[in-house]
Structure 1
Amino acid sequence: MDTLETRELRYFLAVAEELHFGRAAERLGMAQPPLSRAIQQLERRLGVLLLRRNRRGVSLTGAGEVLLHEGRAALDAATAAARRTRRAGGADAAGGPDGPGGPRNRLVLAVKAAAAHELLQKLLDAYAAEPDAAEIEVLPGGMCEQEEMLRDGRADVALMHAPFDSLAGFDSEELMSEGQIAVLPAGHPLAARRALSLAEVGDIPGLPLARWPRHGVYAPGPGPEVHDQIQLAQLIALGRTATVLPESARSWLWADHATVPVLDAPPVVTHIAWPAHSRSLPLAALIRTAVHL
């Protein structure tokens, strides 16, 4: 049988991500024996071994790796379908109905906090002037979170930034391109430079580059782990870190910061992206407005 139930996928993904039946059972709020039986039944039904079990723990087989990747996408798609259906029917993403006469046309636009602020404001103003424009809820997030918001249905459309965000599986239109700048503590010796290279910014003594999470995981390195814009701004002002950001980030920087162009950094291209299968008329109107800008 080729059909998979969402319950089975949730069980398998918990074990595959934890690589431990006990931790997976705790995460799922269930006992370990029925979880083990459910995974064994799934393996028998699919006719493949998904997990290797031995004294050292649990590991994924090749088939298990495939189901981990495909299962995440399938659960995201199911969750996204439920969330977008609720919004289309006048219920919010948390499941609470707006009630009779509540908003029927609402689009959630995911954006990176403070990125391309001027473009976003122009887009919102231009779209609001369109006849029958939908209500736009702006959903700010951190670095690389917009992709996940779009995939799991928290957002209907997103402003995403290549090369940082993956556009795989989405339709998109390019809106603008900009260079990048190094953001340093004001008064730092390098702040007087006319330009820097990526190599120079990445090797400043006592000023390691800040690290952002991608899909919840921080890359290794000596720099501090940051999770939001305010934290990053404060650490730079205190002389604890530096970063490289698109030029449009100048709009939210503090007087305690200095910026220097990074000439060999790749351009940051802002796209408006949406699910490839979408047939939403309000979304189509928003995209037309963005492209006309």
Structure 2
Amino acid sequence: MAESRRARRSLLRDSAIVVVAAVVIALVVKTFFFQAFSIPSGSMNNTLLKGDRVLVDKFSPWFGAEPARGDVVVFKDPGHWLDDTAEAPTPHNGVGAYVQNALSDIGLMPSADENYLIKRVIAVGGDTVSCRAGQPLRVNGVILHEPYLYPSATPCDDDAVGTVVVPAGDLWVMGDHRDDSADSRTQRLRGHGGGFVPVSDVVGRADVVVWPLSRWAALPEPDTFHQSGLSQPGDGILEPLALGALVVLTLGLALLYRRRRRVRRVRRTRGF
């Protein structure tokens, strides 16, 4: 009987250790590595649909990596971008909001009241963007062939802004559904900071769609951004480091847990 109680206590203790370790891993991953975000609108159709969950790389920026042309990035609202738009977060109340925020704290769900947007980086600091009605989008004079555009969308017919030079330290971002995206063009016309997004406001690059499972897909930089005169040597080399660090962390914790169990078994065998 005593041995049975001891076995139950050991099982409960081991289960608690597993749960605590899982929460610690989730917190570390959310803080330093990856975080899930929900797509709030149709501005990135059909690359991303409303309700999709994407996993955002927060690790690479710790090593100085900055967003590159073609990246899909999540960023904080630079100021009034979410006013009167379909991308504003829907308020939640009651138990549902409490549960969602609790899961958000460990990175399993996005926050119920987060003020973030997701767009594609079209140009970085120092680039010249040409966005004119009836013409293709150009960056530094190079035409962008944009296979990711929503089928019925035009590159610049809506909210054409002419020629824009992106300041150093800023980004020019646009949605893939150009006719339904309040992006840098719209914000420039509204007078919101020239329509630019400070690099410091970027949370990270969206690397993969993780939910629903039927929509699972990676989000690589399109080939059009690798044209001569546009490519940025060294872009993306830190993403494998992020994945590698996550694997090392998980394996390290697993090994420590196995070693703890092995030591406990040896002590029980020897009567300690």
- How high is the TM-score relative to the length of structure 1? 0.20
Query: If the length of structure 2 is used for normalisation, what is the TM-score?
Result: 0.21
- Higher relative contact order structure (alpha carbons within 8 Å, sequence separation ≥ 6): 2
